[in-house]
Amino acid sequence: MKSVTVHLPALQVVVPLIGALLSALFRRGTTAWAFALVVSWLMPAISIALLLQVLDSGPISYHLGGWAPPWGIEYRVDLLSAFVLVLVSVIGAAIMPFARRSVAHEIEGDKQPWFYTMYLLCLTGLLGITITGDAFNVFVFLEISSLSTYVLIAMGRDRRALLAAYQYLILGTIGATFYIIGVGFLYLVTGSLNIVDIAERLGPAAAAAPRPVMAALAFVAVGISLKLALFPLHVWLPGAYAHAPSVATAFLAGTATKVAIYVLIRYFYSVFGVGVSFPSLPFVEVVLALSVAAMFIASIVAVFEPNAKRMLAYSSLAQVGYITLGIAIANTAGLTGGIVHLFNHALMKTALFLALGAVFYRIGSVKLADLAGIGRHMPVTMAAFVVGGLAIIGVPGTAGFISKWYLAVGAVDRGWWPLVFVILSSSLIAVVYIGRVVEVAWFREPSPVAAAAKDPPWSMLLPLLALVAATIYFGLDTGATAGVAQKIAAYLLGGLK
Amino acid sequence: MQVPAAIQRIAEHYNYIVTIFLMVGGLYIVIARGNMIKKLIGLALFQTSVYLLYLSPGKIIGGTAPILDPAFKVYSNPLPHVLILTAIVVGVATLALGLALVARIQEAYGTVEEDEIFEQEGNQ
């Protein structure tokens, strides 16, 4: 048994990678689904074991192929990466029971096994980015997850899905290439690709040659910001989320941008360190301004969006703004808020997209006009949507309140009082756009399509209800999320004081 | 004969000048062209410039391949080559997928010009 636990970090990536290849061999969608389900449910088992191990005995360093770092590739699991691994694997597993009927409904029979191949490949890439301790390896996994994401999006029914996938391919590749240029500069000044090793060598290197280090920081920050859809580098996201198959949208909304944010946190705080990244370039100011712009502009666009799925996509942009706001506040409470929101937003946005996926499964549309009165005919689904929406708004008792609370405390600690007002008022805009859907779904006369609908089967309802229950649970018991996030923030800010 | 300082500088940084030229040129094509195939060509050019950025500092003038032999003392750094081999594979995969998408877009819209596609979408 011991021999298996030692290799858990490698298994976290290798199992879904091989699973992806094998599920391509199946002919029928249902058998491929059953296989992918088993693989995706193994992932949280591994990641939770890793998190417990890290909480118990500190960071894990796994030497791939037995080559010692910094020469070999190291898989490094510290508290932050274990936390994100758990998030990604849990979301990936929670969606799978929902996937069978939804995928069978939206994707042609012979393409369904390929859908699960791409799903697992994307999961491999996202888990790999999080677990690896090698800067170039991050690029490789980033491209594995990105390429499979483009395919997932292009599998959407609408021909506009192809357009969205193409646009994302162009912008995503530019982002990844910017990242790799940044890593190239880091390699030139430090001679290393191991993230821990770079961090150690960067201090003297930055003192000797500040310009390439600054260029590296700028390239990495812009490249990753493209992947995490920081305003105004977000243009690919609404189209991609709106036209991808429902399952793919729910999965991407919960994981892909979150992992990119993880990389940003990793570079700002661990690689460059607070000492280099914040004084050398006006990062706090830039990220702060862009986050606030995202929170307002994207929210306002969401208010006027007639397609509910696209509306949630704009809402995601605004929520990414909250997370990056926490990164920019850069004190313990602010960073805790950012990291908790990373987790909480993944839960509630996945739940909301699953609810819309269930609606699409029944009525074949997510336009607001078609949703009229659907609450009376799909009561469980739309009730779940309302709870998820309340969490997005940040109502006390839901997970969304916890993260916004920490962000506000962080802003006050810094003496940035106006930010508290900003956080509150952008939440009010969320009341408007979530309220629009609720009003249409519950208080209008049913449209002809909505009148024929009923709640989806239990296999689709259970994942949705589980995620909604989790947003309530983590709104009341914050030990597992905010408690761990606080430890992570303290660990990341260790170098500051 | 004394070589002028400016020429010396250019000669020393020749690889980097080419790299920056390809990088900016590729990115410009991606932004400025409306034809989806041309955009992909620009993207490939942009990625190629990064290969050069990595490979140039790895070469040491007079260095041999890194083979352990007492006869040789100066080696070129093999690591950038290995990295770029991976990056080339990634680049090929991206280009292949991009072209496949463009082929599907051509089937669905009957054109690969972005402005004509947006026009079709606007009319719906």
CA distances from residue A84 to A180, A287, A339 in whole angstroms, order as listed: 22, 22, 9
Partners of B54 on chain A (C-beta within 8 Å) are 184, 187
- Taking the Cβ of residue A150 and every Cβ of chain B, the question of whether any pair is shorter than 8 Å is answered with yes
Average pLDDT taken over every residue of chain A: 88
Closest CA to A139 of A129, A149, A130, A148: A129
Whether residues A169 and B86 touch (CB distance < 8 A) is answered with no
Chain B residue numbers with beta carbons less than 8 Å from the beta carbon of A143 are 90, 93-94
Judge whether residue A230 has pLDDT over 70: yes
Q: Which residues contact A143 (CB under 8 A, 6 or more apart)?
A: A125, A176, B90, B93, B94
Beta bridge partners of A298: none
Pick among A114, A157, A163 to test the B interface (most B CBs inside 10 A): A163
Q: How many angstroms away from the CA of A160 is the closest CA of chain B?
A: 8
Domains of chain B, residue spans: 5-63+73-123
Q: Find, in chain A, the residue whose alpha carbon is nearest to that of B91.
A: A173
Per residue of chain B (124 residues), what is the pLDDT tens digit?
A: 677 888 888 888 888 899 999 999 999 999 998 899 999 999 999 999 999 999 888 887 777 888 888 888 888 888 888 899 999 999 999 999 999 999 999 999 888 888 888 888 875 4
Euclidean distance between CA atoms A327 and A332, whole angstroms? 10
Instruction: State whether A136 and B86 contact (CB < 8 Å).
Output: yes
Alpha helices in B1-124 (DSSP H): 5-12, 14-32, 36-58, 79-109, 114-123
Distance CA A17, CA A27 (A): 19
A482-A488-A489 Cα angle (round to 5): 85
Task: Inform me whether the C-beta atom of residue B2 falls under 8 Å from chain A C-beta atoms.
Answer: no
Taking Cα atoms as reference points, which of A88, A86, A154 lies closest to residue A120? Answer: A88
Distance CA B45, CA A180 (A): 15
Which among A334, A335, A331 is positioned nearest to A497, based on CA atoms? Answer: A331
B108 part of contact set with chain A, CB < 8 Å: yes
Look at residue A350 in the predicted model and tell me its pLDDT: 93
Q: Does A174 touch chain B (CB under 8 A)?
A: yes
Q: What value does the mean pLDDT take over residues A198-213?
A: 81
Contact assignment for A180 to B87 by CB distance below 8 Å = yes
Shortest CA gap A382–chain B (Å): 30
Burial B27-66 (b: 16+ CB within 10 A, else e): bebbeebeebeebbbbbbbbbbbbbbbbbbebeeeeeeee
Q: Rounded to a whole number, what is the largest CA-CA distance in chain A? A: 70
Contact B50 A143 (CB under 8 A): no
Which token pair is A446? Answer: 């049913």
Q: Does B105 touch chain A (CB under 8 A)?
A: yes
| Chain B CB within 8 Å of residue A2 CB | no
- Give the angle subtended at the CA of A262 by the CAs of A258 and A265, to the nearest 5°: 135
Find out whether A462 and A349 touch, Cβ atoms under 8 Å.
Answer: no
B111: left (phi over 0), alpha (psi -120 to 50) or beta: beta
The confidence band for A468, taking pLDDT boundaries of 50, 70 and 90, is: very high
Contacts of B79 in chain A (CB under 8 A): 193
**Which residues, at least 6 apart from A351, have a Cβ–Cβ distance to it below 8 Å?**
A384, A387, A388, A464, A467, A468, A471
- Token pair in block for residue A154: 């292009």
Dig out the tokens for B15 from the structure.
């690889």
Contact A143 B94 (CB under 8 A): yes
- Is the pLDDT score of A152 beyond 90? yes
% of chain A surpassing 90 pLDDT: 43
Point out the residue among A151, A154, A177 whose CB comes nearest to the CB of B46: A177
| Closest Cα in chain A, distance from residue B3 (Å) | 28
Q: What is the mean pLDDT of residues A458-475?
A: 90
Comparing A275-279, A488-492, B51-55, which segment has the lowest mean pLDDT?
A275-279
CATH top-level class of B5-63+73-123: mainly alpha
Cβ(A470)–Cβ(A388) under 8 Å?
no
CB atoms B50 and A166 under 8 Å: no
Residue of B nearest to A161 (CA): B105
Query: pLDDT tens, A20-39?
Result: 999 989 888 888 899 999 99
Q: What is the pLDDT of residue A120?
A: 93
Q: pLDDT tier at A496 (50, 70, 90 boundaries)?
A: very low
A151 contact B CB<8A: yes
Assign A374 a pLDDT band (cuts: 50, 70, 90).
confident
Say if CB A182 and CB A55 are below 8 A apart: no
A61 touches chain B (CB under 8 A): no
Mean pLDDT for A301-306 is 91
Query: Any idea which of A93-102, A246-255, A278-287, A438-447 has the lowest mean pLDDT?
Result: A278-287
Q: Which of B57, B97, B109 is the closest to A169 by Cβ?
A: B97
Note the ipTM here: 0.92
CA distance A427 to A274: 29
A497 pLDDT tier (thresholds 50, 70, 90): very low
pLDDT of residue B3: 78
Nearest CA to CA, how far is A390 from chain B (Å)?
34
A184 and B CB contact within 8 Å: yes
Coil vs helix vs strand at B4: coil
Contact A393, A430 (CB under 8 A): yes
Answer for the pair A112, A172: CB distance below 8 angstroms, yes or no.
no
Contact B36 A166 (CB under 8 A): yes
Exposed (0-12), middle (13-18) or buried (19+): which is A125, by Cβ within 10 Å?
buried
What's the pLDDT at B81? 87
The SS3 of residue A316 is helix
H helices of A415-483, where? 417-443, 448-451, 458-476
Model pLDDT for residues A84-104, shown as the tens digit of each residue: 999 999 999 999 999 888 888
CA atoms within 13 A on the CB side of A480: 16
**CB distance from A139 to chain B under 8 Å?**
yes
Label residue A222 by pLDDT band (50, 70, 90).
very high
Residues of A in contact with B105 (CB under 8 A): 159, 162-163, 166
From the list B101, B102, B121, which residue is nearest A160 (CB)? B121
Q: Reply yes or no on whether the pLDDT at A285 is more than 80.
A: yes
- Are the C-beta atoms of A89 and A95 separated by less than 8 Å? no
Long-range contacts of A232-235 (CB under 8 A, 24+ apart): A232/A290, A232/A293, A233/A171, A233/A175, A234/A294, A234/A298, A234/A317, A234/A320, A235/A167, A235/A171
**Chain B interface includes A170 (CB < 8 A):** yes
Are A174 and B86 within 8 A, CB to CB?
no
User: Which residues in chain A are contacts of B50 at CB distance < 8 A?
Assistant: 177, 180-181, 184
Neighbours of A203 (CB within 10 A): 15
Interface check for B110 against chain A (CB to CB < 8 A): the answer is: no
Q: Give the integer Cα–Cα distance in Å for A391 and A399.
A: 6
The predicted-structure confidence for A386-420, as pLDDT tens digits, reads as follows 999 999 998 888 888 888 889 999 889 888 888 88
User: Would you state the pLDDT for residue A280?
Assistant: 66
B86 touches chain A (CB under 8 A): yes
Closest CA of chain B from A397, distance in Å: 43
pLDDT higher than threshold 70 for residue A275: no
Nearest partner of A105 among A370, A361, A359, judged by Cα: A361
Give residue A278's pLDDT band: very low, low, confident or very high (50, 70, 90): low
Of B53, B93, B94, the CB nearest to A181: B53
Which of B40, B90, B102 would best serve as a mutation to test chain A binding (most A beta carbons within 10 A)? Answer: B90
Where do the DSSP E strands lie in A21-175? Answer: 60-63, 74-77
Pick from A177, A193, A197 the residue to mutate for testing the B interface (most B CBs within 10 Å). A177
Label residue A204 by pLDDT band (50, 70, 90): confident
Reported as a pLDDT band with limits 50, 70 and 90, residue A484 is: confident
Q: Is the pLDDT of residue A443 over 50?
A: yes
* Domain ranges, ordered by start, for chain A: 1-171+235-266, 282-497
Question: Residue A60 — φ and ψ, nearest 5°?
Answer: -105, 135
Q: How many Å apart are CA A202 and CA A386, to the nearest integer?
A: 48
**B8 vs A181 pLDDT, higher one:** A181
d(CA A81, CA A53): 13
Supply the pLDDT for residue A317.
Answer: 92
Of all helices (H) and strands (E), which one includes residue A4? Answer: helix A2-6
